[in-house]
A and B are shown apart, each in its own frame.
Chain A
Amino acid sequence: MHEVSLVESVLDLIEDSARREGFSKVKKVVLEIGQLANVEPEAMVFCFDVVTRGSLAEGAQLEMFPSPGLAWCTTCHNSVEIASRDMHCPLCGGYALQVTGGTDMRVKAIVVED
C-alpha cells in the first residue's frame, strides 16, 4: 500500500502550495497517473479520503487521468504505446522495449477556495 505514501506526498505538495498561495480549502485535486506508474487508482481514492481527514483537503474530489505508457522498441526502432511492462512490441513482437513514458505521477492542479 505505497499509495498511502503517495497520497501523503500529494497532501505535502498541497500544503506547500497553500503556504505560498494563501488558500484555506481545497475542493478538487487533479492528478496525472502514468499507466506504467505502479499505482492502483482505487487505492489512491481510498487513501486520499483517509489521509486528508482533518486537513485543508478533507472532502475534496480526487480526479485522476492516465497518461499512456510509451516505449522505444530497440528491435524495430519505433516508438510504441504499451499498457503494461510485460508487453511485446505491437509492431514487431519483440520484447526489447525501453520505457520512455507513462511512469510519472504528477499533481497537475488543484481547485481551491481562499
Chain B
Amino acid sequence: MCITCGCGGDGATFDAGSHDHSHDHHSHAPGVSASRIVEIEQDLLSKNNAFAENNRQRLAARGCFALNLVSSPGSGKTTLLVETIKRLQGRLAVSVIEGDQQTSQDAERIRATGAPALQINTGKGCHLDAHMVAHAMERIPVPEGGVLMIENVGNLVCPAAFDLGEACKVVVLSVTEGEDKPIKYPDMFAAASLMILNKCDLLPYLDFDVEAAIAFARRINPGLQVIQLSARSGDGMQEWLDWIEKGVVSAQATRPASGYVRVSGTSARFHR
C-alpha cells in the first residue's frame, strides 16, 4: 500500500520498480431497495487537487521551485531541459520528473547530464496527475532551494486541467508549429504563467509570425510572460535561466518555518 495515500494502482508505471498493489472497492450489502437523492457537491478534480496541495506543501517546505512543462509533442521540451540543466550546473540543483506514455528515453537523456530523473510511463494516460507526481517525489530528491522540473506528456489539451502542485505551468511552443496554437488550444495557454517560444534559430527559414503568436497567446491570457529562445543555439537561454533563478529566490523567501521541536520540555521554533 502506498505510504502517501493508501491507494491502489492507477495505471501509471514508474521505471524504478513495480507499483502493483491493489485494493477492492466494496459495495454495501443490499438492504431494502428504495430510491433517494444523495447530494455530493464535489469538484471532479477535488482528489487531484488535494494531492496537488500536498505536493505544493512538500515543495514549499524545502523551498523548491517546481515547474510543470507542457506542450505538444516535439516542441523541444527535453532538449530545453537538458540545456537548462547544463547551464545551471554548480548553481542550482535540479531534479526532473519525466512523463511519457512509453519508454524511458527522456529520463535517460536527463540522467546523462548528471541530474536525477524519474520516468513515469502513463500507459494509455494522456497527462500526469498529482497522485503520480506525489509518488515520483518519494523516489527522487526534491532539491532544497533548487528546482523540480516536471515534463508533462506531450499534449496541449489534457494536462491543462491537472494541477500537479507546481508553482507555474510553462507552455513551450516551437516556431515550427502554427502561430495560432494558442487560440486552437486555449486552455493550456490560459493555465500557463510563461510561454517559451522555442527553436527561434529556425525563424529565418519559416513563415512563423512571432508577433501574431504572442498576440494570440495574450488574447487568451493577458498576463502571460513570453521568452523567445533557442535551446539548440543558446540564444535567449539567459533570460530563461534568470526567470528560473527569480522563481527559486521567491520559493525560498516564502518557505514556511519548519515547525517546532521539543527541547528540554519546552517548545522551540527552529528555522531552516
Contact = CB atoms under 8 A, between A and B. Distances in A.
Contacts of B218: 95
Q: By DSSP majority rule, is chain A's interface helix, strand, loop, or mixed?
A: mixed
Interface in A1-32: 1-2, 4-6, 9-10, 12-15, 17-19, 21-25, 27, 31
Contacts of A97: 222
Contacts of B161: 2, 6, 37-38
Q: By DSSP majority rule, is chain B's interface helix, strand, loop, or mixed?
A: mixed
Interface residues of B, number: 40
Contact of B47 (A9, A24, A56): A9
Given A25-B30, A111-B37, A113-B33, A105 B186 contact: no
Interface of A: 1-2, 4-6, 9-10, 12-15, 17-19, 21-25, 27, 31, 36-38, 55-56, 74, 84-86, 95-99, 104-114
Interface stretch (B69-77, B121-129, B163-171): B121-129
Central interface residue in A5, A27, A98, by most chain B CB within 10 Å: A5
B219 A95 contact: yes
B28 A99 contact: no
Central interface residue in A10, A23, A55, A111, by most chain B CB within 10 Å: A23
B27 A56 contact: yes
A21 B25 contact: no
Given A5-B162, A31-B44, 19 more contacts: A6-B44, A9-B48, A10-B44, A13-B40, A13-B46, A13-B47, A15-B25, A21-B38, A25-B33, A86-B219, A95-B222, A107-B40, A108-B40, A109-B38, A109-B39, A109-B41, A110-B37, A111-B36, A112-B36
Nearest to B223: A98
A61 B43 CA distance: 19
B239 to A, nearest CB: 25
A84 B169 CA distance: 21
